[in-house]
């Protein structure tokens, strides 16, 4: 078993030293041990779940939701949302957000979503004039020459 999950969460705590770690482990093993290695999988999961709840950032969930909405709008506009360099290049444009997607705050993500919806309403990123269905493309108007004067009566 790796202890990556525990240490990732443990390091988010304001006070995190060996003594604190041992107290947490003892608490979740009912005093049986102070060693992570001696914990059962259920005890370890309960400890990590509790650490996740105590270190949860409410802004993180809000930001995650707003990022998801912005990515969905980009996808509807035809931007490949699996191509992060493309997403970042799009967002860096000063007319869009002026910075990379990952650096956007929740209010900036709201503004981005607003712009993306406006782009959608105006026809997308590269609007093309639509031709009525079935209308053939005409290359040039047809010119008819007629002779004037000198016509017999």
In this predicted structure, what is the pLDDT of residue 32? 94
Place of tokens 């108007």: 141
User: Interior CA angle at 36 toward 34 and 38, to 5°?
Assistant: 80
Residues 97 and 94: their CA atoms lie apart, in Å, by 6
Output the CA torsion sign for 73, 78, 82, 87: negative
User: What confidence tens digit (pLDDT) does each residue in 19-73 have?
Assistant: 889 999 999 999 999 999 999 999 999 999 999 888 777 777 788 899 999 999 9
d(CA 54, CA 77): 39
pTM of the model: 0.52
């Amino acid at each position: 078993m790796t202890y990556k999950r525990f240490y990732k969460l443990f390091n988010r705590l304001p006070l995190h030293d060996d003594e604190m770690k041992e107290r947490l482990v003892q608490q979740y093993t009912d005093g049986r041990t102070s060693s992570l290695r001696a914990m059962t999988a259920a005890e370890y999961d309960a400890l990590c779940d509790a650490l996740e709840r105590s270190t949860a950032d409410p802004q993180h969930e809000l930001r995650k939701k707003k990022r998801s909405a912005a990515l969905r709008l980009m996808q509807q506009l035809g931007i490949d949302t699996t191509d992060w360099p493309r997403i970042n290049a799009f967002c860096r444009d000063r007319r869009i957000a002026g910075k990379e997607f990952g650096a956007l705050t929740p209010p900036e993500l709201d503004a981005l979503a607003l712009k993306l919806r406006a782009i959608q309403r105006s026809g997308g990123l590269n609007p093309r004039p639509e031709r009525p269905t079935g209308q053939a493309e005409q290359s040039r108007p047809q010119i008819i020459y007629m002779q004037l004067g000198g016509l017999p009566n």
